[in-house]
Amino acid sequence: MSIRKFDTKVQHLKYKVLREVAKQAWNDTLYDNLLEIPKIIVPGNKPTMRCCVYKERAILEERIKIAMGGDKNFSNPIEVIDIACDECPVGGYEVTNACRGCLAHRCEDVCKFGAISFDHNYVAHIDKDKCKECGACAKVCPYSAIVIRRRPCENACKVKAISMDENKAAKINDEKCISCGACVYQCPFGAIMDKSYILNVIDLIKNQEHGDYKLYCVVAPSISSQFIYAKLGQVISGIKQLGFHTVVEAALGADMVSASESRELAEKGFLTSSCCPAFVDFIEKNFPQMKQYISHNLSPMATIAKYIKKTTPNAKIVFIGPCTAKKAEIQKESVKPYVDAVLTFEELQALFDSRDIDITTLDEDVLDNASYFGRIFARSGGLTDAIAQALKEQGLDKDFIFKPCSCDGIEACKLALLKKSKGVLDANFIEGMACIGGCIGGAGCLTHGEKNKAEVDKYGKEAMEKTISEAIKIL
């Protein structure tokens, strides 16, 4: 990696697969060279990642399948590559050698399940059959001698959708999975991937020439924190060079959502946001009784896409963003007619490089439709700020007292929903973002950095339109 475009080598490997698949697809040689791609990526006979090149190539074949759309029998865009799963040890709570065999035995006293016993050196042991993994012992040990050993994927999955199959490989429970992609980003072996629709997008671009449609790209505002090695205007030029007719900000859809969601909120008195598809999925799967409170607005992506298709009936739309759950969202009946495909920023990078487009050499194009408020939807708390602003702009803040609860990450969302369901939530609006930090923490981001929030705010301030009503006036 000459320029550091990704956070991890796992992302880089996935990128190489996507880039190669795309390259072959542009040349119409994908099906002729399909079996050669693993060798192109792992040449020679010396392994660089696994026990032998044959295993490396076998796993690459699986990655190629997922890069080509993955298993069509399952709608979940998140898929496990079982042969890539390292079957990490799952110890649960374990006593380390920091245990000094003390007298106090707080661990034993606090354990409600009688799982702690002591050997002849008075060192604690945990009976796995009795342990319920409550963690109480780890909390009280004065030496911090008890630790939890969990698989990175299970640890990343805060909705507890990951377990082990009979071969100890990771298994996703689609009934619980919200497709947020946290496991994809966290698995150190790259054994979980998001299905790619990069081939659909290449087809859409190619067929545009003799098709009767124009291909629009709707881009998420979190793009301001991505492709940091180039200017945003150069990224826009790059997208157009790939063959898109034009690029429109999803943030303008966010402005439209803020305006109508604030009215819905003032009318109904309580609402949860509906922008984050993983959050909406989480409510539907875990708090069905709360479904009635979900805002009826489509997400900003779907809202702007709907508008584009209304005004330009021969438009086809590809959304590019940080999100793997968007790949599930566009399968919904309510969204399907508006968005034709979803790509992540990782996949956009692969597309650029499959065409040898070096965006740093391009002129800067413009991207300016939305307001500051639409743009800050990309980070946690931004949606709440936008709703407060929209209430104010529409004069709704006089009779309605806005009490927001911004939830940063799915665990915070769960807590707020739990409180609401028990009638003890002191708020009338829940902003739910499944990823920590909001969309800038999405699994499809190239990089995740400390400065991302500041980048989003900076981009927000650069918007020509300063208010939501000014931004949507034109529509």
Q: What is the DSSP pairing of strand 92-95 with strand 146-149?
A: antiparallel
Residue 475 makes contact with other proteins by CB under 8 A = yes
Site for other proteins in 146-165 (CB under 8 A): none
| Mode of pairing for the β-strands spanning 404-408 and 429-433 | parallel
Least Å distance between CB 410 and other proteins?
33
Mark the segment that binds other proteins (CB under 8 A) among 73-81, 134-142, 201-209, 363-371: 363-371
Q: By C-beta, is 308 or 407 nearer to other proteins?
A: 308
Is the Cβ of residue 251 or residue 386 nearer to other proteins in the bound state? 251
* Buried/exposed 183-219: b ≥16 CB within 10 Å, e otherwise: bbbbbebbbbbbbbbbbbbbebbeebeeeebebbbbb
Position 473 contacts other proteins (CB under 8 A): yes
Q: How far apart are CA 272 and CA 270, in angstroms?
A: 7
CB of 339 to other proteins, least distance (A): 15
CB of residue 34 vs other proteins: minimum separation in angstroms?
36
Report which DSSP code applies to 84.
G
With CB under 8 A as the contact rule, the residue among 206, 245, 285, 332 that binds other proteins is 245
Identity of residue 105: H
Query: Which range of residues in 186-194, 276-284, 365-373, 382-390 is near other proteins by CB under 8 A?
Result: 365-373
CB 433 within 8 A of CB 276: yes
Piece of 63-71, 88-96, 305-313, 347-355 that binds other proteins (CB under 8 A): 305-313
Does position 373 interact with other proteins (CB under 8 A)? The reply is: no
Handedness of CA 182, 183, 187, 190 (dihedral sign): negative
Per CB under 8 A, contacts with other proteins among 439-468 are 464
Q: Could you give the CA distance from residue 48 to residue 219 in angstroms, rounded to a whole number?
A: 36
Amino acid at residue number 83:
I
Candidates 178, 180, 302, 367; binder of other proteins (CB under 8 A) is 367
Query: Does 226 sit near other proteins (CB under 8 A)?
Result: no
| Of the candidates 223, 250, 276, the residue with the CA atom closest to the CA atom of residue 408 | 276
Q: CB of 433: closest distance to other proteins in angstroms? A: 26
Phi, psi of 206 (to 5 degrees): -65, -45
Which letter does DSSP use for residue 170 in this model? Answer: E
Query: To the nearest whole angstrom, how small is the minimum distance from the Cβ of residue 215 to other proteins?
Result: 11
Q: Which is nearer to other proteins, 33 or 246 (CB)?
A: 246
Of the candidate spans 187-195, 360-368, 392-400, 414-422, the one that interacts with other proteins by CB under 8 A turns out to be 360-368
248 near other proteins (CB under 8 A): yes
Residue 257: both structure tokens together: 């959502």
User: Does the footprint of other proteins cover residue 286 (CB under 8 A)?
Assistant: no
Q: Residues in contact with other proteins, total (CB under 8 A)?
A: 20
Distance between CA atoms of 367 and 265, rounded to whole angstroms?
A: 30
Q: Is 98 in the site for other proteins (CB under 8 A)?
A: no
Nearest to 56 by CA among 64, 67, 48: 48
3-class DSSP assignment, residue 49: coil
Q: How many residues are present in the chain?
A: 475
Min separation Cβ 306 and other proteins, Å: 13
What type of residue is 331? Q
| 1, 51, 424, 474: which one binds other proteins (CB under 8 A) | 474
Residues that bind other proteins (CB under 8 A): 216, 236, 245-249, 308, 311-312, 365-369, 464, 470, 473-475
